[in-house]
Amino acid sequence: MSKVGIVADNSCGLSAEEAKKLGIRMIYIPFFINGEEFSEDKNLTRELFYEKLNSSSTVSTSQPNQVKLQEVWDEELKEYDEIIYLPLSSGLSSACQSAEFASLEYNGKVQVINNKRVSVTLKVSIYEALDLIKQGKSALEIKQILENQALDASIYIMVPTLKFLKKGGRVTAAAAAIGQLLSIKPVLQIQGDKLDAYAKVLTVKQAKSKMINAIKKDIETRFNNIPSNKTIMISLAYTSTNIDEFKEFKNEVKNEFEPQYPVVFDDPLPLCIACHTGTGALALACCVADKNIIKDFNK
């Protein structure tokens, strides 16, 4: 039986401490702030990131360096027979395709998993991968399983302003100006490899209600016939500086979904996503996952 290791990029939202505890090797997506390169594992704190994002600084992300990526794979293959790599969804970045190309040199020992997820839903996939390794699955088998269930997840994100989506080219300047004039708060959705507009609301309260109802609809329609060994797991993410507001939303979500559907994660949004949402964003997600991984979340 092959010994399989896991490498992931930090779009999954795992902290350095969590990754170390789980035995996950992390790749950090680089940022460029006014032309200078920054990385969360070296010189970029969340505080500095938001300070720069909310100033007149130019903030953008880039792909992980392919040479450095392969160096990490080479190091991991000294300890493991095979490795799987879980990067940011191919629908949100071309980094996944670049990694797939780089993996061709490894004759199947590196399996890049494009399961079209990010943040808390990708984090659940990592826990599922750990469980599949315990079951003795090979890297290729894990890739096939996780990619087959790629569409069994949804994320809804409320952004308080279109300013940062405009900066990243996600909306036109005219649309952003109209949005700001009307105080529109868009709710976006991520399902599979698509980032789409889902709804437009005027208040945070309306956005919360819209996201909760969207998850309920997904459970009733898209995920209404899941196997008995699986459940719907609910997670939240945020960039809000108002922690009390986030806690209030978390309580609303728990009251709506538990105990039938457990709320498993409530994490800060990865900075590579926060770069496009700005501060004050709230996200609500659901995904189908094996019931037996729940016990691993609180170890």
Tell me the two tokens of residue 172. 């036109």
Rg (CA), the chain: 19
- What local confidence, expressed as pLDDT, does residue 1 receive? 72
Residues 185, 199: Cα–Cα separation, whole Å? 9
CA nearest neighbour of 68 among 32, 94, 30: 30
Number of domains in the chain: 2
The CA distances from residue 23 to 7, 79, 276, in Å, are 9, 12, 30
Same domain, yes or no, for 257 and 184? Answer: yes
Mean pLDDT, range 42-54, rounded to an integer: 89
Same domain, yes or no, for 129 and 160? Answer: no
Could you tell me which residue, 110 or 191, shows the higher pLDDT? 110
- What local confidence, expressed as pLDDT, does residue 179 receive? 43
**Residue located via tokens 């004050």:** 280
Residues 24, 14: Cα–Cα separation, whole Å? 9
What pTM was estimated for this model as a whole? 0.90
- What local confidence, expressed as pLDDT, does residue 76 receive? 98
Q: Is residue 211 part of a domain?
A: yes
Pairing of strands 153-158, 31-33: unpaired
Pairing of strands 110-112, 82-86: parallel
Tell me the two tokens of residue 13. 């939202």
Digit-coded pLDDT (tens) for 154-195: 999 998 766 655 554 444 443 444 345 446 778 888 887 777
Digit-coded pLDDT (tens) for 239-258: 866 788 888 999 999 999 99
SS3 state at 71: helix
In the predicted model, what is the mean pLDDT of the chain? 88
Per the structure, the complete domain to which residue 86 belongs is given by 4-29+64-148
Same domain, yes or no, for 119 and 245? Answer: no
Same domain, yes or no, for 81 and 102? Answer: yes
